[in-house]
Structure 1
Amino acid sequence: MGLIERILGVVFGSGRNVIAETAEVFRVNAENEAGRGQAMQSAALAQFSSEFKVVRRGCFDRLMDALNRIPRPAMALGTLGLFVAAMVDPIWFAARMTGIALVPDPLWWLLAAIVSFYFGARHQAKGQDFQRDLAATMASVPQVVQTVRAVEALREDAPEAGALPGPVGEMPGDNPALRDWQAARSTV
Structure 2
Amino acid sequence: MGLIERALSLVFGGGRNALAETVEVFRENAEKGAAREVTLHQATLAQFGKEFRRDRRGWFDRLMDAVNRLPRPAMAMGTLGLFVAAMADPIWFAARMQGIALVPEPLWWLLGAIVSFYFGARHQAKGQAFRRELAQTVAQVPQVVDNLRRLDDMQAPDAPDPSAGAGDNPALEAWRREAA
TM-score by length of 2: 0.41
> Which structure carries more relative contact order (alpha carbon 8 Å, separation 6+)?
1
TM-score by length of 1: 0.40
- In our comparison, the structure showing a higher alpha carbon Rg is 2
